[in-house]
Chain A
Amino acid sequence: MTAVWRAIGVGLIALGVLAATLAVLGFDPVAGLAALGRNSVGSWYAWSSATLVRAIPLIIIGLGLGLAFRAGAFNIGAEGQFAAGAIAATGTAMVMGSWPGPVSWVATAAVSTVAGALWVLIPVVLKLRLGVLEVISTLLLNFVAEQMVSWMVQGPLQEPQGIYPQSAPIPADVRLPVLAGTRLHLGVVWVILLGTVLWIVIGRTRWGFRLRAVGEAPVAASVAGRIPVGGVQAAALLLSGGLAGLAGGLEVTGVTYSLYQNLSPGYGFTAIAVALIARLHPLGIIVAGVGFGALEAGASGMQREAGIPAVAVNVVQATIIIVALLALRKRRVAAVAEA
């Protein structure tokens, strides 16, 4: 129960900081927070068509990052892996226009997962072979991916007229089905499936144990446990890249129906926060993902209705991360003192 209260506390502090920032900079904090709430949790439509739709990529990426971070591997290139998945899904969708729905849903998901994993393969090899820190290499590849998307939508995948920097809309059969009257797409099933599977894998299997051992005490895991540390980290990184790629594929097939630049409003970075404040626990990541999805959804509402730049929500996210970490740190110090 204390975890829930702490989460509520951190959330309230962050909203307080947002209100204060808005007030200091001359925006109307009441109107801002009201618009934020109305457009994120204020109605069934806001829930189903804004908050949850944005939560899907955050959760799926967050679940993957949770695995990588548990293994002590810091992948901050999810933004690029997401883009790789989105490109792959668009290309695949164009090729298989008239395949029956379920086949193409699985195929685009599979291809985008592989693309995301391939995008993180270079950092994995560089880390294992040459000791290049994955923090830097995954990050650098984000910028490469950004240019790759830019090239695709002005080159090989550009819409037939060749006017706009975006792909043609993907064929209707490939698009994921949505819940009637909402924009909530099939991706939500992936969220439930992946959340459950990873929860079991991490907590109840031999591989999950190895993962935790490698992250918490790599030397002990290697010497006493004879666990191949590099191999476990590589697997975790590849999985995290794959899931980020899957999220990119689902975004194209379930939400945007075409590829364009800045497809992701920073999901790959926000998902880092989602994974961390959930303390890398799969079920926690789902809850945190919905919370941050609500913030993202509310932010665009705030911009539309109260004229407050959507980037304001970054202030909330940063505050949540820092306050949550400071709170956790105090607890750890207390635990050490008791022992």
Chain B
Amino acid sequence: MDPTVDFLAAAIRIATPLLLAALGEMLTERSGVLNLSVEGAMLAGCLASALGAHWSGSPYFGLATGALGGLAVATVFSLVAIRGRVDQVIVGTALTLGTIGVTGLWYRWAFGAEGLGLTLPTVVWTPTVIAGALVVTVSVLLRSTIGLRLRAVGESAVAARAIGIGVERYRAAATAVGGLLAGLGGATLVLGQVGTFAERMTAGRGFIAIAIVVLGRWHPIGVMLAAVGFGALTALQFAFQAVGIALPYQLFLMLPYLVALAALAGFGWRARAPADLGRSLS
């Protein structure tokens, strides 16, 4: 096949789980909630999708259970950080830690001590189509009444409350959607790329999704471009390996993170972040 087509296909496949998780996190952040448990939600989505697809034999059922796995983590986050008003950054970090533990144990319980590699039914482009449709939906949604209220909650929770918007309801809903999409992202990783589950398999992709939200400047189109850019940078290493350039491959693995950092510095963080991001309503 044409190497350019191969490269683009690889870039988009790598970008899809990141895009899904980042779209969800973007909605969550627009409501003023900084949810660092996306990493955990993705990992939960990975395991839940593996279980669902294994049990039913259908990858589409797996995508659905994966989304629910992400929702489960987001629900705990919602209860503790939004209802309980405990610091969002800390709760997010703790939940990611906890999810690593629970998924590791659960996997061992479900598939035995060896934790054998599974052969799961796979999907190829369905998640990408879903992600594309979501970019459009979210773009439209943000301009609707509901979207305006969501943004109001994120920019100034106090003002939003004063005009009668249920701040914590909106935040809980946005967090739940974020969890569903992170779970779907995890499911895509399992059913569309790897084909099996492994302990800690998300390897920081949830955190990359958070960086993508910043790079995409909290806008669906921007998030999509950032995710694809990230996918392209990661796919670059395969391209270079194929051509046979003798640089340490680790440099290519570092590249996406360094570019993300440079882009953060270039675009700045303060410019577009929702004003009340990370602040509980007091």
Contact = CB atoms under 8 A, between A and B. Distances in A.
Contact of A314 (B97, B207, B258): B97
A195 B53 CA distance: 51
Most chain B beta carbons < 10 A, residue from A22, A139, A272, A326:
A139
Contacts of A130: 264-265, 268-269
Given A143-B204, A325-B86, A329-B84, A21 B261 contact: no
B261 A322 contact: no
A94 interface: no
A97 interface: no
Given A25-B105, A151-B251, A132 B90 contact: no
B191 interface: no
Interface string B250-271: 1101100110110011001110
Contacts of B106: 25
A317 to B, nearest CB: 6
A273 B94 contact: yes
A122 B257 CA distance: 13
B143 interface: no
B90 A321 contact: yes
B86 A313 contact: no
Interface string B76-97: 0000100011110111011101
Given A26-B109, A312-B105, A315-B102, A329 B264 contact: no
Interface size class of A (residues with CB under 8 A): 35 or more
A237 interface: no
B84 to A, nearest CB: 6
Contact of B97 (A122, A136, A269): A269
Interface in A95-147: 122, 126, 130-133, 135-137, 139-144, 147
A311 B268 contact: no
Contacts of A222: none
Nearest to B256: A143
B261 A122 contact: yes
A315 B101 contact: yes
A125 to B, nearest CB: 9
A232 to B, nearest CB: 20
Given A150-B250, A309-B108, A276 B90 contact: yes
Q: Is the contact region of chain B dominated by helix, strand, or loop, or is it mixed?
A: helix
Most chain A beta carbons < 10 A, residue from B211, B261, B268:
B261
Contacts of B210: 136
Interface residues of B, number: 45
B86 A318 contact: no
A9 interface: no
B170 to A, nearest CB: 22
A308 interface: yes
B214 interface: yes
A276 B86 CA distance: 13
A325 B89 CA distance: 12
A304 B258 CA distance: 39
B90 to A, nearest CB: 6
B206 to A, nearest CB: 10
B95 A143 contact: no
B111 to A, nearest CB: 12
Given A272-B93, A315-B101, A318-B98, A136 B264 contact: yes
Nearest to A139: B207
Contact of B94 (A147, A309, A321): A321
A314 B99 CA distance: 8
Interface of B: 36, 80, 84-87, 89-91, 93-95, 97-102, 104-106, 108-109, 113, 199-200, 204, 207, 210-211, 214, 248, 250-251, 253-254, 257-258, 260-261, 264-265, 268-270
Given A141-B261, A322-B80, 15 more contacts: A25-B109, A122-B261, A126-B264, A141-B257, A142-B204, A148-B250, A154-B250, A311-B104, A316-B101, A318-B99, A321-B90, A325-B80, A325-B86, A325-B87, A326-B84
23 contacts: A130-B269, A131-B269, A131-B270, A132-B268, A135-B36, A136-B264, A140-B261, A141-B261, A143-B207, A144-B254, A147-B253, A150-B253, A151-B251, A154-B248, A154-B250, A272-B90, A311-B101, A314-B97, A318-B95, A325-B90, A326-B86, A329-B84, A329-B85
Interface of A: 21-22, 25-27, 74, 76, 122, 126, 130-133, 135-137, 139-144, 147-148, 150-151, 154-155, 269-270, 272-273, 276, 307-309, 311-319, 321-322, 325-326, 329
